[in-house]
Amino acid sequence: MPVPAHNLTPPFNVVRLSHVDLAVTDLEASRAFYADTLGLQVTHQDDDTLTLRAMEERGHHCLILRRAEAPSAQAVVFKVWSEADLDLAEAWFADKGRPTEWVDRRWQGRTLRSSDPHGLPIEFYARMDRLEPIHQHYKLYRGVKPLRIDHFNCFSPNVDDSVGFWNEMGFRVTEYTEDKDSKRLWAAWMHRKGGVHDMAFTNGHGPRLHHVAFWVPTPLNIIDLLDLMATTGYVSHIERGPGRHGISNAFFLYIRDPDGHRIEIYCSDYQTVDPDHEPIHWDLKDPQRQTLWGAPAPRSWFEEGTLFEGIDTRAPELDAQPIVAP
């Protein structure tokens, strides 16, 4: 299936990704990981909830952590341009036969919840509580010095269908991996905000959350984090990297939080705002696709992910195997 042409007049205007809500089993262990080690800033904490933001963000949070008996994710959440876009989105999802409901989310205005054809839960809002800027409060910078949330990646049982649906919402493909034999998509990277992606899809058992990524200033921040994790009891939480992706050209590190949620630390990708930006094609068997330097990813990277709360999953339709580290 060919990559669809960019939809430059979507039915409603998504500005960017916003945040994710993760269920965790030990809130204090999660705070030690996300705030004390990675360096995200705590914006609220009570007995059951912890919210955090990165250094350049003005919204109340980019990450919500909720105490629960088992780890899971609630939804991937996006900010739209206006209140009117929420009503347009509700009508569009209903017309597609997808369920819609208005949900109450603390620190946000009206919030619409729906899902894509595979059941991937999506939420949209236009207004969130705003906080004072802290990007010049350099005494607060610590850990990997995270500046902002950058993207989500989710497992999809049919990447072609996922890309087609999200393309209609105005998400534009920047790079993609094609299986040479079937000519089907194995993975795709899609954006709204002008980077390589706000949302990516990877062929696999889904829908599941593969990872959440945070943008950092330089590759050296990632090296500093590795030294910190290696000497503070987190060496076993380092899953993959550091390295440079072929796709996106970004410098990366994949780590796991205390509940196994995968986090990517990410920098150095490129601008994609031009409406005639052409997607870059990669073959599934290209050894530089995963890592420009040729190092393959471990099997866990292709098989493990976070379940969405209450959402059934299914096996991928495409039976194609990338290069996997021994």
- Cα torsion at 203, 209, 215, 219 (round to 10°)? -60
What is the DSSP code string of 208-255?
Answer: EEEEEEEE-S-HHHHHHHHHHHHTTT-GGGEEEEEEE-SGGG-EEEEE
Do 213 and 115 share a domain, yes or no?
no
Q: What is the 3-state secondary structure (H, E, C) of 244-295?
A: ECCHHHCEEEEEECCCCCEEEEEECCCCCCCCCCCCEEEECCCHHHHCCCCC
Residue 290 lies in a domain: yes
DSSP reduced 3-state for 132: coil
CB contact set of 251 (below 8 Å; sequence gap of 6+): 219, 222, 242, 243, 244, 245, 266, 267, 268
Per-residue pLDDT tens listing for the chain (326 residues): 679 999 999 999 999 999 999 999 999 999 999 999 999 999 999 999 999 999 999 999 999 999 999 999 999 999 999 999 999 999 999 999 999 999 999 999 999 999 999 999 999 999 999 999 999 999 999 999 999 999 999 999 999 999 999 999 999 999 999 999 999 999 999 999 999 999 999 999 999 999 999 999 999 999 999 999 999 999 999 999 999 999 999 999 999 999 999 999 999 999 999 999 999 999 999 999 999 999 999 999 999 999 999 999 999 999 998 999 98
Do 122 and 175 share a domain, yes or no?
no
Do 232 and 257 share a domain, yes or no?
yes
How far lies 120's CA from each of 91, 116, 258, in Å? 18, 5, 24
pTM exceeds 0.75:
yes
Residue 60 lies in a domain: yes
Do 116 and 174 share a domain, yes or no?
no
Sort 272 into a burial class: Cβ within 10 Å, 0-12 / 13-18 / 19+: buried
Do 114 and 233 share a domain, yes or no?
no
Contact call for residues 62 and 18 (beta carbons, < 8 A): yes
Sort 275 into a burial class: Cβ within 10 Å, 0-12 / 13-18 / 19+: exposed
**What was the pLDDT predicted at 64?**
98
Contact call for residues 246 and 323 (beta carbons, < 8 A): no
Of 75, 106, 130, the domain-final residue: 130
**What was the pLDDT predicted at 1?**
64
**What was the pLDDT predicted at 176?**
98
Residue 219 lies in a domain: yes
Of 130, 163, 187, the domain-final residue: 130
**What was the pLDDT predicted at 326?**
83
Number of domains in the chain: 2
Q: Could you tell me where the DSSP H helices lie in the chain?
A: 27-31, 83-95, 159-168, 219-230, 287-290, 299-303
Question: What's the half-sphere exposure (Cβ side, CA atoms, 13 Å) at 119?
Answer: 13
242 preceded by a cis bond (ω within 30 of 0): yes
Do 183 and 263 share a domain, yes or no?
yes
Q: What is the CATH number of the domain that holds 266?
A: 3.10.180.10
Do 123 and 161 share a domain, yes or no?
no
Of 130, 153, 176, the domain-final residue: 130
The pair of structure tokens assigned to 270 is 């490129």
